[in-house]
Chain A
């Protein structure tokens, strides 16, 4: 922890020594914040007069995570280290992101880490680093245990929105209008809910199905709700040479134009399957959490962009 803070300190001094500002590089190294050179006893108010900092105000500042002894140490050490820090204007000084702060405080030797109260709590979103494209969730599949055996024939008779064809499939297919979803309800009391566009929608829909089953007279409960799969899609808006991609990323990709027009990319970390099409549209599936989808897309976007120039 100390090393990274020191590294950043050195990076800063290099920036000022060589008088050389590479905007892209700075942004690539992560969010940079300007350290104000006016120390004052009250931390929250320091955020407001920050020069060149982010737009976030210090109103939502929560310092409760800082250990108690630190708050005592901070004040005297604060002003002394402030003078050490170079006063940079536009180039942007470095400081720790919010997350690293709790680990920092034990040594007074690197008070630089402790200087973070000056900085906004939420990291600045880098402008050119990210792709700027957000994959939209298209489908969420979740499962729920209702906890009691069900009489499917009875449910199919009593419920308006249910269909049951035991010869074709051994479950009742029930649909509700809001959120527009479909559920498969099995006689064991297990249920699969599909078609929702967000995790909360899926949960609400599953609860509604459970309520319908309850109203029909069964002692249904809402246990073990779990999201099993999330599907998202997005468009990078440029054509992609799938033949080239399969050559360079052979271990992960499978492209068989005779079988399927898209390239199937199996990303290892996070474990997501991406379907990449020549039109630039990308479908991501296999995620259990939204963050996995975003991470996977941010991983693939530079690869695809690399292909665009070739």
Chain B
């Protein structure tokens, strides 16, 4: 405020000074002493933000009790899992961040606990320390679906990326649970943990190539792999006779129901490969394939190639030469399987290259004809039956519900009165219905 621009109304001088009276601001003329203007405590307008009572009166902000408890819980979970220091610290940081966010600030304590578990899960994933969602939900004593939900929200809130684990990553930790090392069980049933893990991982990788693993729960697959690995490492009569349930009791793990189906699927896959073993002269069925698992795993790439080839040949035999579509569809889906096959054994790598090129060339020529052939309509209905390996949900396709024929309407048609009337009760009907409702209501009241 420029004092120069003001003039004292009393004497007209421009010599006006600030002469505050205690708290009250006053402008006073220096010459005649009249008060030019005075501020009033009440009139002063505060243009800043509204400051809440708790902020002005609080001396220090005490951290929320639940936050402290939550952090303790996160520490607990990390210690139980025996994760690395960095993982624990990262989890604590995430928890603090997520807790303060509005999505998690006013939720139930149970949800906050689940949030703690999810933070540990996210930090384990980022630091590549393999655990499953199942483990976390066991620790939290919660429902995996709820854990999943909170986890997805948390990822969004924190805006982080936590890459998931494949089954092979988690396999080693899972195998440790099985108490079948020489100390725990009799000699004939014992198996060295390292060897067991190695074979189980190889089985899981093979299963992944055959579409058994994608989209499925990892635990039953791991259990099936360990069981088959254990059986095949010493395929004597005793081991082969032991059912999954007995094996789980022996190893002191809880059996999972779907592991049985996975065992059947894996045996089916091993059977398809085992068929190609040239030195096995006896009749092979999916049941006695377990004894051959070692050989199958050792020579899996070449057996895979042979199986694909023989499958192709069998398809060509089934359908006459004119129909090239099945083989083209099959080569396209099997080329991804043969991709891995082409990788390893050096002596057969050249072979694989040639085959791969041959197949790709075949496929590109056949793809236009594939789409235009009207017969593919029926064939594509279950393409799973035509290829060597396909996801089981395709091979055992459920029957489709009878589809409604599409209505060709414009949306603005005339609606007939009679149709609408058919949806409305007649007066008599309405009365009957009302009476019945009353009767039901009263009888309910009497009985309850």
Residues in A lying within 8 Å of B, measured CB to CB: 128, 132, 157-161, 174, 176, 178-180, 197-204, 207-208, 211-212, 215-216, 235, 237-243, 246-247, 250-251, 254-262, 277-280, 308-310
Contact = CB atoms under 8 A, between A and B. Distances in A.
Contact of B211 (A132, A215, A262, A278): A278
A159 B421 CA distance: 9
A259 B150 CA distance: 12
A176 B415 CA distance: 13
B215 A212 contact: no
B53 interface: no
Interface stretch (B171-179, B241-249, B423-431): B423-431
A94 to B, nearest CB: 23
A259 B407 contact: no
B217 A201 contact: no
Contacts of A174: 423
Contacts of A309: 332, 335-336
Contacts of B145: 259
B407 A239 contact: no
B161 A250 contact: yes
Q: Which of B394, B419, B421 has the most CB of A within 10 A?
A: B394
A159 B164 contact: no
Contacts of B134: 258
A247 B409 contact: no
Contacts of A278: 211, 214-215, 391, 393
A134 to B, nearest CB: 12
B380 A237 contact: yes
Contacts of B208: 243
A308 B409 contact: no
A240 B390 CA distance: 10
A237 B379 CA distance: 10
Nearest to B221: A257
B148 A259 contact: yes
Nearest to A154: B430
Interface string B85-96: 000000000000
Contacts of A237: 329, 380, 383
Interface of B: 132-134, 144-145, 148, 152, 161, 163-164, 166, 208, 211, 214-218, 329, 332-333, 335-336, 339, 368, 371, 380, 383-384, 390-391, 393-394, 404, 406-407, 409-413, 415, 419-425, 429-430, 433-434, 437
B164 A200 contact: no
A161 B419 CA distance: 12
Contacts of A240: 214
B423 A159 contact: yes
Contacts of A176: 423
B390 A239 contact: yes
A198 B407 contact: yes
A243 B214 contact: yes
Nearest to A137: B406
Contact of B411 (A203, A216, A277): A203
A258 B218 contact: yes
13 contacts: A197-B407, A204-B410, A215-B421, A237-B329, A239-B333, A242-B215, A243-B166, A246-B164, A262-B215, A277-B393, A278-B215, A308-B332, A308-B333
A161 B409 contact: no
A122 to B, nearest CB: 21
A247 B412 CA distance: 48
A157 B211 CA distance: 54
Contacts of A251: 161
Q: Which of A180, A216, A308, A309 has the most CB of B within 10 A?
A: A309
A284 B133 CA distance: 26
A132 B134 CA distance: 41
Contact of B217 (A202, A203, A257): A257
B411 A250 contact: no
A211 B415 contact: yes
B393 A204 contact: no
Nearest to B413: A204
B424 A158 contact: yes
B148 A198 contact: no
Contacts of A308: 332-333, 336
Contacts of B329: 237-238
Nearest to A132: B371
Given A197-B404, A203-B411, A257 B423 contact: no
Contacts of A259: 133, 144-145, 148
Contacts of A258: 132-134, 144, 148, 217-218
Closest 4 A-B residue pairs measured CB to CB?
A203-B411, A200-B411, A261-B215, A259-B148
A262 B393 CA distance: 12
Contacts of A250: 161, 163
B214 A158 contact: no
A310 B404 contact: no
Nearest to B360: A309
B382 to A, nearest CB: 10
A137 B394 CA distance: 22
A126 to B, nearest CB: 13
A177 to B, nearest CB: 9
B370 to A, nearest CB: 10
A202 B420 CA distance: 16
B211 A201 contact: no
A37 B377 CA distance: 41
Contacts of A242: 214-215
A266 to B, nearest CB: 10
A307 to B, nearest CB: 8
B269 to A, nearest CB: 14
